[in-house]
Each structure stands twice: as C-alpha cells, then as structure tokens.
Structure 1
C-alpha cells in the first residue's frame, strides 16, 4: 500500500511538472506576439502615414496612441485578472490585436488609424503584463532566472520578427497586415491548447500601481532603461552605422546581430541568475553595457570586431531586464505581481516615448551621439541602483532612531 501510494504520488508529481512545462511553453510562445505587433506596426504604419502626406509630428502622435492605450488599461489589470482570470483576458487581447491589424488597410481614412493604435496599445499591455505574470507564477525560486530568460528571449524574438516580416512582404498592400493577423490568430489557437495551468489571481494586500512603483523602483528603472535604449537602438543604430561608413544593408545586419545576441545569450544569463546574487549580477551587466557602449566608435569601425561586439552587447544589455524579472518574481505573487508588471508597462511606454527622442537629439549634436546616449543612460541607471540600495539600507536605521 505504501509503495503504491508513493508511486502514485511520484506519477502525480511528474504529471504536474509536465503540465507546468507545457503551460510555460504556451505562455512564452504567446508573449512573442506582444513584441511582434509593436515591431511590425511601428515602422509599417509610420512609413504609410508619411506616404499619405502626414508630417513627422503627426506620425509621432499616432505612435504615442500606443502609450495612451497602455495608460488606459494598466490601472485596471489587477482587478480584471482577479475577476476574469488571465487566459480569458489574453484571448480577448489576441482577438483585439488580430482584428485591429486586419482593419488598418480597410479604413476609409488614415485618421482612423489613431484609435486603432490605441486599441493595439491596450491589447499589447494585456499580453505583456499577463504573460509575464503567468510565466513568473509557474516558475520557482530555483529556476525563475532560466524561465524569465526564456521569456525575455521570446519577447526579443517577437521584436526581431516584425522587421523580418516586412523585409519579405514589403510595406504596400494588405499582405503585411494580413501576416500579422494570421500570427495573432495562431497564438489564439496556442493559448487554447489543452492542459494549460492557470495561476490563482489572489491579491495579497490593498496595493495599487503607484504603491508598487514605490516598492520596486529598480524594476521601474530597469524597464524604462530597457525600452528607451531598445527603441532608440532599433531607430538609430543603422543610421549611426552609415555615418561610420557601413552601407544601409550592412547597418541593418548589425541590428539583426544585436537582436540575435539578445535572444541567445539570455539562457546562460538566466542560468547565472539562478546561481549568484541577482542584484550583483544586474550591476555587473549594467557596468559592462555602459563601458562597451562607450567603445562603439572604436569597435564598429572594424568589421570583424563589430559583429561579435554587438552580439555580446545585445545579450548583456537585455540580461539586465531578465535578471530584474527574476528578482521581482521572487518577491511578489498573484494580483500584486500583475500590479508590478502593469506599472512596468507604464514605464516601458515612457521609455519608448523619450528614448528615441533623446537619442535623436544626441545624434543631431554629436557625431557619436548614439553610443554616448546609450553609455550615459546605463551609467545613470547604475548610479540610481546604488542610490536605491543605499536608501534601503538606511531606512531600517532611520526607523530605529
């Protein structure tokens, strides 16, 4: 009887682990749709609006509608996830994404693309926050670094997918929008696969987004840093490479190499995050990212050095975000974790809004403005992390006195 009971318990444990593994694979695959919808629509819609005769200012206003959608939905995601559960909300978000992408070329006026971008922003925020929460909830302290590294790699794969699709479909006609729609619908089939384990969305206190921002300033700073530099790099690395003598095609290849590094190197960084002090790892990755960014003017002028340098830099920099996800996942659970990620979504929007603007200003003034902007931003974040750590140490002492 005891042997049979132990065997049954072992089988149940193995079945639970298998279901968790399948669920993680489904959620991580679904997460890539967030990056894809953004990286596909951003250059596609911008180019088509310019061709329609809109000014750069209006094109920027259209892009900002994505951030407006994020701001609209983020404060309500925690309560919505408790009431409706993550799977149902993700299904709605994928339907919204697919319908909006398909609707763009059918609109009688490009002015109607503004509300469509807003709705895409709402859908993207739901996907970003709830898949991140779900992946973290299904992981444990012993494997969270590796799980979140795989998740981050999937996001980066999505970001790389948009430009890749456009390189084959071009910018004209229905095709690029149709491909995006098909991918969103495919993700809808994936999320409805059997055996999916849902996390229990229970609030562990009366928390809100503003409170979570105060509790996790490093997470907020990391998110803003990641989005600001990632969007600035996607916008200006090719332009900077041309300044250094690269052709436009080779400059685009440099961006691809950077993104490949951001994908592949997350797995060893995630393994490392499960073995060492995560804050220390984050500090080390930030310092290396800052130093190597300042060296771009030298490294990017030597072809055999430029490709491996950007490959490694992409992995190190995105590893900062991966490590932060592992830290956050070990501190918060359930609806509180949704609130943290919702707040991070707001900071992601802010970084994506201001990062390219500042990077463009640096490039206007300085010939090596892009690496200077990237290096300075990483350095400022490093100073911020040390300040927050110092404040956290002093806080208990102040309370005792």
Structure 2
C-alpha cells in the first residue's frame, strides 16, 4: 500500500470512529432522558443520568495522556470502541439506574479517549499545506454526525433494537478499520503536570477559544430556544433555529479550514472571532425577520471555526505527547465552558431579561478576541515531543 493510500485509509478510520461517537452521543443521551421521563423519573434524576457521558468525557481528558503513554494509539482506540460496544448495550438494556450510570460513565470516558486521540492524530498527521482543510473535514464529520442521533429516535422511537444494531455494527466495523490502518503518534512519552501550566501560558488564546465555543454551544443549546420563544417564535421554530446553527457549524468548517491554509490560521482565527461577535450582537435585530435563518447558519459556522482553528494552531505549535496533553486540556476547558455557559447566561437573562444571553455570549467572544491580540506565542516548549 502506498504512503498516500495508507494515510487516506487511516484518516477514514479515525474520522469514522469520531463521527460514530458524535452519532452515538446524539442518540444515547436524549434516548435515555426520554425513556426515564416516560417511566416517570424525576427531572433531577434525568439530569444526573444525562450528565454521565459528559462527566466520563471530562474524566477522559485527565487520563488520556497516561493511556497514550502505556498503549499505542491503535490499541487504545480499538479497546475503547469495543468497550463502548459493551457498555451501550448494557446501559440501554438495564433498568438498574446505578448500573446504567456506571456504564454510561465508562462509555463517556471511552468516547473521550477516541475524540482526543483522533483529534491529535488528524492534527499531527495532516500535511502542513492542507492541515486546516483536513481538520475542518474532521470537525464537519463529527458535528454533522451529531444530527444523526436524534434522527434515529425520530425514525424508530423507543424501539431500540434497530438503532442499537446499527450502532453496534458500525462500532465493530470502525474497530476493524482502526486495526488495519497505520495510525501512530510520534511520541508516547508521558510529560509532567508542570508542562500543563507552561502550555497554558504559551497558548492562552487557544484555550480561551475552546472555552468560548463550549460556552456558546451549551448556552445556545439550552437557552436560545427560550430567547426565541420570548421573541415571538413558536417552539418548533425555536428548535429549527438551533438546528440551523449546527448545520452551519457542520457545513462551513472545511471552507474555514481552506481559508486557514491559504491566509494563515492566526488571521482566520481572529476573523472567526470578530465575525461571531458581530453576528451575536445583531441577533436582536434579525430575530423577527427572515434574515434570522441565514444569520443562524453563518453564526454556527464562524463560532465553530473558533474551535476548529484552535485545533489547527495547536498542531502548528506542538506534536506528540505535548499535542495530546494540549487536546486533553482542551477537553477540560470544554467541560468548564459547557458547565458555566448555561449558568452564567441564565443569570444574565434573569438580570437583563432575554437579551442577557446576547450579552454573555458577546462578552466571552470579546474576551477571546482580546487574547488573540497578545504578542505571538513564545516558543518555550518548542514543537518537541
């Protein structure tokens, strides 16, 4: 097999695995929530059970560097896929909530390992002249696949046999492709925790980018429907606006990656932040006009670009173990942003009425832009392994 063919087989295997994670979470989390709700479960219990996969993904950010130190990426990803196969089937079939929570947690941890290692491999292995496009393709596939999960529920309802069979089959196929691929990382060295603080000091704009987008993502998902309804939209229309944001996120990452390759990642990163800030500030002026439909698509793309270009820029600075550590830290910041997004935005909406969410989103985006104005990164760690 030629080197080019080997690379494309490997990127297919990694993108398939990560996309499957998106579809899996998009199906599993709402399925379990709806099942518990139909069974008369308390809303607090439903929230706790729904948080298990996200909590698992957060924990995976803490342990993935050590997993990479002990196991080659092929073994780590294959074992994770097979563990997901086991845990999702047990979680869906079980009625004991303690067991469901435990296996959902383990499933989330395995999902996090695949996403972190997958992102790292794509970022490190993509040709430097096309890095933005490949990472954009990766994030497009992951985001687009998240829309497939709810569709499975729409088509099959609570008949979990067909969706579970589809997901299980794809997990087995994905693990086979990982095994026959040639994916490998340049280093499996473990690095000390103090390196985390050095990386944070060198790349503050990238970590603010991840926090900014996760804050945006969770706030939009949880509170923008309320904002839309308060501005006169029907619930169905409010849900459609959210869908359009994710559609824009999925559609525009490859073009944004191409712009990054052509004009430089730093310039495009600032452009995505500036465009997102302007689009957020103009939401109150378009929310009740036909322009809101196009507005949401473009906003989803530019906001998603803040995260995509953060991955590109991280791979331009680090590789090997340091890149894995960086992506793991991204995972931790994602968890922090996702947690505080709805809390802060909700508080702002109480204080400033429905436009509080506009204020909170614009403030976090503005802070990200301020971070991008700092002097170019001092390469204290270099691009060593």
Tell me if both proteins adopt one fold, taking TM over 0.5 as the criterion: yes
Going from structure 1 to structure 2, the CA distance change for 1:105 and 1:77 (only over 3 Å counts) comes to closer
SS at 2:263 equivalent: coil
CA distance in 2, matches of 1:24, 1:170: 33
Going from structure 1 to structure 2, the CA distance change for 1:206 and 1:368 (only over 3 Å counts) comes to closer
CA distance in 2, matches of 1:216, 1:177: 41
Going from structure 1 to structure 2, the CA distance change for 1:358 and 1:116 (only over 3 Å counts) comes to farther
- Any unmatched runs of 5+ in structure 1? 1-11, 396-401
Question: Aligned pair 1:319/2:305, yes or no?
Answer: yes
Alignment of 1:161-172 (within 5 A): 161-171=148-158
What is the RMSD of the two structures over their aligned residues, measured on CA atoms? Answer: 2.6
CA distance in 2, matches of 1:183, 1:355: 33
**Kept after mapping to 1: 8 A contact 2:276/2:302:** yes
Going from structure 1 to structure 2, the CA distance change for 1:368 and 1:169 (only over 3 Å counts) comes to farther
Going from structure 1 to structure 2, the CA distance change for 1:297 and 1:184 (only over 3 Å counts) comes to farther
Alignment of 1:215-230 (within 5 A): 215-230=202-217
CA distance in 2, matches of 1:53, 1:361: 29
- Any unmatched runs of 5+ in structure 2? 381-385
The answer for the alignment partner of 1:357 in structure 2 is: 343
The answer for the alignment partner of 2:145 in structure 1 is: 158
The answer for the alignment partner of 2:332 in structure 1 is: 346
Higher mean C-alpha displacement, 344-353 vs 48-57 = 48-57
Going from structure 1 to structure 2, the CA distance change for 1:146 and 1:52 (only over 3 Å counts) comes to same
The answer for the alignment partner of 2:103 in structure 1 is: 116
Partner deviation per Cα, 1:235-275 (whole Å, 9 max, x = no partner): 33333333333333332222222222111211111011112
Deviation (angstroms), 1:309: 1.1
Partner deviation per Cα, 1:309-339 (whole Å, 9 max, x = no partner): 1111111111111111111111111121111
**Kept after mapping to 2: 8 A contact 1:282/1:323:** yes
Higher mean C-alpha displacement, 269-278 vs 155-164 = 155-164
The answer for the alignment partner of 1:59 in structure 2 is: 46
**Kept after mapping to 1: 8 A contact 2:246/2:297:** yes
> Which of 119, 122, 132 lines up with 1:132 in the alignment?
119
Going from structure 1 to structure 2, the CA distance change for 1:209 and 1:172 (only over 3 Å counts) comes to farther
TM, length-normalised to structure 2: 0.88
> Which of 143, 168, 181 lines up with 2:130 in the alignment?
143
The answer for the alignment partner of 2:383 in structure 1 is: none
The answer for the alignment partner of 1:307 in structure 2 is: 293
Deviation (angstroms), 1:139: 1.0
The answer for the alignment partner of 1:289 in structure 2 is: 276
The answer for the alignment partner of 1:329 in structure 2 is: 315
Deviation (angstroms), 1:28: 1.7
Going from structure 1 to structure 2, the CA distance change for 1:205 and 1:174 (only over 3 Å counts) comes to closer
Alignment of 1:2-401 (within 5 A): 15-171=2-158, 174=161, 176-192=163-179, 194-203=180-189, 206=192, 208-303=195-290, 305-365=291-351, 366-386=353-373, 389-390=374-375
Going from structure 1 to structure 2, the CA distance change for 1:228 and 1:120 (only over 3 Å counts) comes to farther
**Kept after mapping to 2: 8 A contact 1:50/1:59:** yes
Going from structure 1 to structure 2, the CA distance change for 1:183 and 1:236 (only over 3 Å counts) comes to farther
Higher mean C-alpha displacement, 201-210 vs 360-369 = 201-210
CA distance in 1, matches of 2:163, 2:92: 10
Higher mean C-alpha displacement, 305-314 vs 160-169 = 160-169
CA distance in 2, matches of 1:367, 1:359: 10
**Kept after mapping to 1: 8 A contact 2:141/2:250:** yes
The answer for the alignment partner of 1:4 in structure 2 is: none
Deviation (angstroms), 1:89: 0.9
**Kept after mapping to 2: 8 A contact 1:95/1:188:** yes
Deviation (angstroms), 1:82: 3.4
* Higher-Rg member (1/2): 1
CA distance in 2, matches of 1:26, 1:242: 42
**Kept after mapping to 1: 8 A contact 2:202/2:377:** no
Partner deviation per Cα, 1:175-224 (whole Å, 9 max, x = no partner): 555544444334324323x3434233343965654443343322222222
TM, length-normalised to structure 1: 0.85
Partner deviation per Cα, 1:139-188 (whole Å, 9 max, x = no partner): 12211111111111112112222222222222565555554444433432
Deviation (angstroms), 1:123: 0.9
SS at 2:303 equivalent: helix
